[in-house]
């Protein structure tokens, strides 16, 4: 009696094709997840860099330093600290605002601002500044002990991966701000 062998080649080919189809369906989801993780890490990295650079710029801008011109009025030096310490974020001098106030809560009224530090310029007194307890404007040409340097950063950090960059070409908007009391005599350290 002859034995018959039964082969199933058609089924095996069907299995291989099914795996390929499943892989093709899952691959875009896996790639999107991977790119999302990479870009999330990139944004967290840049946020941390910007936060640390803001803190260092506040430290720099709150003491006199060793130069003839005090550090707290060196507008470009304050901005350069941020740019140097957060190079991957794409922050430029135009994205950084530096102002000075007398410690009172800041409102939209600019009469509380002692002065400003324009990009590419030096400290300029606010002609509309009204000191505490006064009713008329009395601009101050010098920074006093107890005044604060207020730094704001407003930048769009671009995404790293091309796919996410295509979905959000302007990147993620990061806005940070902080202030620190100025000690012209350097004793506040």
3 in a structural domain: no
Does 128 map to a domain?
Answer: yes
Does a structural domain hold residue 187? Answer: no
Domains in the chain, number: 1
Give pLDDT tens digits for 147-158.
899 999 999 999
Please tell me the predicted confidence (pLDDT) of residue 103.
Answer: 83
Residue 147 within any structural domain of the chain: yes
- Is the separation of the CB atoms in 182 and 145 below 8 Å? yes
**How far is 39 from 77, CA to CA, in rounded Å?**
31
Name the residue with higher pLDDT: 124 or 9: 124
Give the separation between CA 151 and CA 21, rounded to whole angstroms: 54
pLDDT in tens, 32-79: 999 999 999 999 999 999 999 999 999 999 988 888 888 888 999 999
189 belongs to a structural domain: no
User: CB of 114 within 8 A of CB of 129?
Assistant: yes
Give the mean pLDDT of the chain. Answer: 87
92 in a domain, yes or no? yes
Identify whether 5 is part of a domain: no
Range of the domain at 141: 11-181
At residue 4 the predicted structure's pLDDT band, cuts being 50, 70 and 90, is low
62 part of a folded domain: yes
């Amino acid at each position: 009696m002859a034995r018959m062998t039964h082969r199933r080649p058609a089924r095996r080919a069907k299995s291989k094709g099914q795996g390929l189809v499943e892989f093709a369906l899952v691959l875009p989801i896996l790639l999107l997840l991977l790119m999302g993780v990479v870009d999330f890490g990139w944004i967290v990295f840049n946020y941390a860099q910007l936060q640390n650079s803001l803190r260092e710029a506040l430290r720099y801008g709150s003491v006199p330093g060793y130069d003839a011109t005090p550090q707290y009025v060196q507008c470009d030096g304050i901005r350069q600290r941020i740019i140097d310490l957060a190079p991957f974020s794409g922050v430029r001098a135009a994205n950084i605002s530096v102002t000075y106030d007398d410690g009172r809560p800041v409102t939209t009224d600019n009469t509380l601002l002692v002065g400003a530090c324009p990009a590419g310029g030096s400290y300029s007194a606010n002609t509309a500044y009204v000191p505490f307890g006064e009713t008329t404007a009395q601009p101050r040409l010098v920074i006093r002990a107890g005044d604060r340097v207020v730094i704001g950063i407003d930048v769009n950090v671009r995404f790293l991966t091309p796919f996410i960059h295509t979905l959000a070409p302007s990147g993620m908007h990061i806005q940070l701000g902080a202030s620190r009391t100025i000690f012209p005599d350097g004793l506040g350290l």
